[in-house]
Structure 1
């Protein structure tokens, strides 16, 4: 066994007695990074979890109440800044969470080296012992120095197909190059129809981790190179080879990826929903492609609406949170709206899309900057800038919508409407008029509805 490098001592954690730090946490410490979470193997996982909690100044109520409490069945145990609890009492899996940092504990195997040989990549097949020694049966330290991501074996990748996706995610987030034989193995396994797909939740978690990387666009390109887009984001891959012309100089797939790159170059703190919306914003184009009968140019009528639904469906299948799915849907649906030509239009723009602002603007900017085709000129770029400035000014000046001037029942009575879509359209039209400053009192609201809507058939009431 090797000794740990002195350069990593700054981040070294306190070790529970006889415990071994394994996997990604060992990898990160040995490359001089602070782990986001810790995986431990210990002779007594419950005791090791309590030790970690106590060493990090957590008040451990297990110890305080040991005479009356069975720690193996206490789940969770409250602490000053965290908790200690059993994940699986029978298998002795325990967890300590302190100040948001997760420490997981499993029993120490009798043959640690054999356990490490079953891992995915050599840089993850490392273990650090309490005395500072390092178990490295696969040459992981060498690959850490080379910044190379190398499989332990192809069979190990086959045993858990998620490891194919993890190869792309780790290469992206660590900034490592995939070793040639490993890349070939991933590509080969990705084409194997007999290889089952992992659970959707696991796929979603890996893709999210890749998307949250500063190099997410490069990560998506790597997914394509490895043959994984077809498995996990097939709607995105449909844009490969679909040229657009006009403002666009890339095919639809590369345009989507370039838009993500442009977004992260300008807004590196963009959240996950905005990143997903930017990557998927044009996935509706392949299925809406048409030809204009007079000009012969390609058309994509309705691609924003279809793309919004395709993206939402894919993210739902990946078990993403509903709030994220709906925000992505809303941004993609709105990304083709015209920018306002004056202040009044800007106020209307803000009123209708306040829930997705200002993120919608960042998506639209990334879309624009990813195009840069021959029809893009300084004049069109300036017009875009002016439209953005109008919206941002209106967003800053325009407060959130005030309380409704009239209730739905009052509108129904005033316009003699039955409950139904027409009432909703009238409510939205009145809310927009209030936001634009056209009405400010209930009497003005009644006059507005009577003047503009009472003469319309219910189906003709504007939808706002």
Structure 2
């Protein structure tokens, strides 16, 4: 069906492609996420084109017009990738698909001349629309209505679509996290899930065919998890991930020519419904985690740290009752850091990324006592971090503390403290103080000093003592009894030389 004509601003390269194809008698449309975003009033990240033209026709039309073909999946998937003026566009021939044993790739692909048939193979209704150059929107599955109602649902039978392509299960969670929509499906509705009267409560849960995910590559799953975590409504998407059992799913990695199955995120499951001390917490452990994530800036290390910051809560050896009979998880940050390292290493994130997230998790409880103890405690802590070998220079340490402050404030804001304006202001002031101290008073390496090794060498009678002298200056500045200023450092070198 065709909706009313509207004017949409398409990039010149897309207009040119549509014009060239339609002038040769072929149908050509913008399809997928770009149409969804345009209808939502957003600027699409990229544009995909679908056409009745076969790949060889697409190439023969676009190459003479100055487009460079940079990729062609040809008879397998009917996709031609073209490049011009610094932009790359995928152009796909209308096609149908049939799935077999592979968890993601279709077993058979065939061309068709029908736009409706092409849109019917797509994952979700809001992604199954097309737009022509005149501004007509083609919507055969109620995608526009779902956009208006903020609903995410599959095209056709949900379990069948997930059995065809298991990655769609992760994409469902990701789109909920990116769009903030409510997920619905006609089949397989289950009981309510989550803590009532919270933004994450699900009046109905749904069951996904999770066993199909074992055929997905780790790389694809990890990409979807990252996109989900960076979404504006990441908490909603993560709730769906847990409620459907998908967090406990498995995927696979290829090693030495064979596949090995690995867990995704089963460590999260025990957090659902896990009670916390109501004196401090307004959410149970899982909803607290989701609220903290949604409170934070969309940086991947911060989001992963918040997802895993309380992952050890409730576990044997961690969960206890305090003298008032309330649940307590003293020391959970240390065990959560251990678990975070295991999880992220299993998911094969780069070692520096893993190290940063583990550091954030292990330190996320350090700020709270300092709301009482003040600057001297902060200085001692910063000195221990500066001398601890975790950072190569003060710039790197300050960047890490900027992330840690974000974790602390997001965590704090997901408790009763989040409703206390004065207390949150104190938390932000503490974060500002630690960053200022990190920038101005706490060098990590001798290269962070306000005097160079060459300058110190000039002052020394015994040139072989240069390392000892630089180390001495670093320790004095880190102890905060020597300012990191050139004149003070020069005087300190002279005094040290007299004593040695």
Aligned: 1:173 with 2:178: yes
Determine the structure 2 residue equivalent to 1:324: 353
Distance 1:438 1:271, change over 3 A: same
Q: Does 1:95 find its partner at 2:81?
A: yes
Equivalent residue number for residue 237 of structure 1: 269
Instruction: Tell me what 1:210 maps to.
Output: 228
Deviation at 1:210, TM superposition (A): 2.0
Select between 236-245 and 295-304 the one with higher mean Cα deviation: 295-304
The separation in 1 between residues aligned to 2:346 and 2:282, in whole angstroms, is 32
Q: Which residue of 1 aligns with 2:478?
A: 435
Residue number in structure 1 paired with 2:237: 219
In structure 1, which of residues 103, 110, 113 is the aligned counterpart of residue 112 of structure 2? 110
In the alignment, does 2:411 pair up with 1:367?
Answer: yes
Match of 1:391 in 2: 434
Tell me by how many angstroms 1:281 deviates: 1.0
Q: Which runs of 5+ in 2 are unaligned?
A: 95-110, 191-203, 250-263, 386-396, 454-469, 483-488
Question: How far apart, in 2, do the equivalents of 1:285 and 1:6 lie?
Answer: 53
* CA-CA distance at 1:172 after TM superposition: 3.4
What are the residue-to-residue correspondences of 1:326-345 with 2, within 5 Å?
326-338=355-367, 340=370, 341-345=373-377
The answer (yes or no) to whether the contact 1:95–1:102 under 8 Å persists in 2 is: yes
Q: 1:210 to 1:397 in 2, by over 3 A?
A: same
Cα deviation, residue 389, structure 1? 4.2
How far apart are 1:324 and its partner, in Å?
A: 3.1
Is residue 262 from structure 1 mapped to residue 295 from structure 2 by the alignment? yes
Does 1:29 find its partner at 2:19?
Answer: no
Superposed displacement of residue 258, structure 1 = 2.0
CA distance in 2, matches of 1:100, 1:234: 42
Corresponding residue pairs, total: 399
Cα pair distance change 1:383/1:20, threshold 3 Å: closer
CA apart distance, 1:163:
1.4
Task: Name the CA shift for 1:210/1:381 in 2 (closer, same or farther; >3 Å).
Answer: closer
Residues 91-120 of structure 1 show CA distances to partners (whole Å, capped at 9, x for unaligned) of 463334668864212334324333322221
Give the CA deviation at 1:182. 6.1
Report the equivalent of 2:259.
none
Distance 1:295 1:41, change over 3 A: closer
Matches of 1:297 and 1:156, distance apart in 2: 45
Q: 1:159 aligns with which of 164, 182, 187?
A: 164
265, 269, 278: which is aligned to 2:306? Answer: 278
Query: Alignment partner of 1:181: what SS?
Result: coil
Contact kept in structure 2, 1:49 and 1:105, CA below 8 Å: no
CA RMSD across the alignment: 4.2
Q: 8 Å contact 1:143–1:149 — kept in the other structure?
A: yes
User: What residue number does 2:2 align with?
Assistant: 2
**Alignment correspondent of 2:70:** 85
Match of 1:417 in 2: none
Secondary structure of 2:8's match? Answer: helix
d(CA) in 2 for partners of 1:379 and 1:134? 50
Distance change >3 Å, CA 403–CA 105, structure 1 → 2: same
Distance in 2 (alpha carbons) for counterparts of 1:44 and 1:312: 48
Give, in whole Å, the separation in 1 of the partners of 2:222 and 2:122. Answer: 21
- Please state how far the C-alpha of 1:274 moved relative to its aligned partner: 1.0
Tell me, in whole angstroms, the C-alpha distance in 2 between the residues paired with 1:53 and 1:445: 73
CA drift of 1:198 comes to: 2.7
**SS where residue 91 of structure 2 aligns?**
strand
Does the Cα contact within 8 Å between 2:210 and 2:246 map onto a contact in 1?
A: no
In 1, the alpha carbon distance for the partners of 2:7 and 2:134 equals 16
Q: Note the residue ranges of structure 1 that are not aligned, 5 or more in a row.
A: 63-83, 264-268, 408-426, 451-464
The answer as to whether partners of 1:342 and 1:390 remain within 8 angstroms in 2 is no
Counterpart CA distance in 2 for 1:310 and 1:253 is 16
Deviation at 1:331, TM superposition (A): 0.6
Deviation per residue, 1:265-322 (Å, 9 max, x gap) = xxxx441211221222111223342437977665434422221232233334444444
Of residues 128, 131, 143 in structure 2, which corresponds to 1:128? 131
Determine the structure 2 residue equivalent to 1:71: none
Cα distance 1:431–1:447, how it changes in 2: closer, same or farther (>3 A)?
farther
How does the TM-score come out when normalised to structure 1? 0.70
Does structure 2 conserve the Cα–Cα contact (< 8 Å) formed by 1:169 and 1:219? yes
Distance in 1, matches of 2:292 and 2:431, equals 18
Structure 1 3/445 Cα, relative in aligned 2: closer, same or farther at 3 Å?
A: farther
